[in-house]
Structures are given as structure tokens and as C-alpha cells.
Amino acid sequence: MRIGDTGKVRTRGKGRSTAVLAAGATLTVLCGCTVQASDGERHSPVHIEVPSGAPSAKSAPPDDKPPSAPAAAAPVVLWQSGDTGRDVRELQARLRQVAWLFDGPTGIYDDLTERAVKGFQGKRGLPETGRTDQATWDRLLKMTREPGTWDLYLMGGQPADAPDARCLTGRVLCISKTSRTLRWMVDGRTVVEVPVRFGSQYTPTREGEFTVYWKSRNHVSTLYDSSMPYAMFFSGGQAVHYSSDFAARGYAGASHGCVNVSDERAIAQMFAEVRNGDKVVVHW
């Protein structure tokens, strides 16, 4: 629209002006009100900006952020305090080989075993948890050999095998060289069962069927000058008796032919119950 010298209004682009006015009217109706400014002019209360172009980098979702690393898995624990069984025996036997454990094996993951594992871990730069995880076990396997049966049962605790047929009747001290155990049996029933130790290859324990011919509560060997408490003689100078050496060293030692018992309470019970003339069977 243009105002000329004569005061008359001249219009150009009539269609466009009409469209703008119509849009403004429509917006006024939709908003329902206008804002009265301090200069007396009326203004629309709504300011609309139509965005153009791509969104700013600040508002754009990140697409180049590296994925977070997965949490490290906790070490797999194979055995720990309170566990029992044959595997714990092997762990203890291997710890004995590298001089981290001196007792046992007992088959019980006790405080001594936990302390030994922790010491072994610390020496090798592993986390000192006292629990045997896969990394600890793998390192121990590389440093040790496979333990034999009597490494696993150094201090006894091995299961007894089936009694010999000659042990199933009467009163019998039934002694197995295979399982290194003694059963005190009465009419086929096992009353007491204990681990035992035999003579070395140079002084072997005799095998066969014998009888108890003499009992000596506080016997001392005249040949070896050694104590033989609760001795029950069955073949010459060979007897079943308590051995403090067996109790201390286990199968790391041997007798001079006698049948050694490491459990003093059990041998005391048998000594009180066994009579002269009772049968003794030493078998494989």
C-alpha cells in the first residue's frame, strides 16, 4: 500500500495483502486475545519461529559415543572354606608339595588350608582371597605332580574295603593291606574301624590268619627301644599297637613290621575288648 501526494491510497498486490490480513485475523481468533503495549499499539501475544535447516549439534543425539565396556566377570571359585571331599584332599596334597601346607590332607577346607592358599596367591601375584579360583588352581597344577592315593590319605581317613570272608564270623581283627584299614569285628558286625600303617619293604607285615597270643598295655620294644602302647601280639614280635609316629607323620613313615594305629582312643577301646585267642586276619 502506498500513500501518494494527493492523500489517496493506492494498492498493489491486493491478493497478497488480503491473505496476510486473513491469516492475522485467524491467529487473533485462535489466541483469543492480544497484548496491549505501553505505546498503545496492539501486538499478538504469540511469537512463532519456524525452525529451518538441521537441528544444532547440541540437541542432536550422540551417535559417535563408544559403547561402555562390560563389567568384568567375577573369578570362578572352585573351593572355599567349609568345602569337603576328594578334590579338597588333592588341593591340600598339592599345597604340601610346594611347602605351603604341612598338615593333612584332611579333605576339609579349614583355616590352615585357607591360609596356605592365601600365601600361595600372594607369592604369585594373585588376589589374596584364600579361596581357590580357576587361576589359582591352574598355577598350582603347573607347579605340582598328580598326587597318589597315599598322598591324598597321608594321615588316614581312607574308606575301608569289604572285609575278607574269614572276618565274617567270630571275633576278628580284620586288617586290609589294600585299603590300609583295620576293622574290629564281632560276628560280621564292624565295631571299630581305623586307618593303619604297615612295615616297610625291608620289614614287611606278615599276611595270613593268626590269633592274639599276648597283650601288653605299656609295652616297649627291646629290639628297637621304642614305645608300643596297647600292644596285641599276633605273630612273633609283630603286634597291633598305637604309634605316635604314625599320628605325627602318617604314611610318610613305616613300622618295623607291626600294624600301627594312629587313633589312641580307638586302640584303647579295642585293647579293652579284644581277648587272647581272638582271630587276626591280615589280607590284601
User: What are 96-121's pLDDT values in tens digits?
Assistant: 999 999 988 999 999 999 999 999 99
Q: Which of 167, 174, 219, 241 is catalytic?
A: 241
| CATH homologous superfamily of 78-152 | PGBD-like superfamily/PGBD (1.10.101.10)
State the chain's mean pLDDT as an integer.
84
pLDDT for residue 69: 64
pLDDT for residue 24: 41
Q: Which of 47, 174, 258, 283 is catalytic?
A: 258
- How far is residue 281 from each of residues 11, 96, 121, 155, 211, measured CA to CA in Å? 136, 34, 48, 23, 8
Query: Do residues 281 and 185 make contact, with C-beta atoms less than 8 angstroms apart?
Result: no
Query: Do residues 68 and 59 make contact, with C-beta atoms less than 8 angstroms apart?
Result: no
For the domain spanning 165-283, the CATH number is 2.40.440.10
249-266 burial: b if 16+ Cβ within 10 Å, else e? ebbeebbbbbbbbbbeeb
pLDDT for residue 70: 67
**Residue 258 falls in the annotated catalytic set:** yes
Grid cell at residue 196:
593303619
pLDDT for residue 210: 98
Ordered mean pLDDT values, 10 residues apiece, the chain (284 residues): 41 42 38 43 48 50 62 86 97 98 94 98 98 98 97 93 97 98 98 98 97 98 94 98 96 96 98 98 98
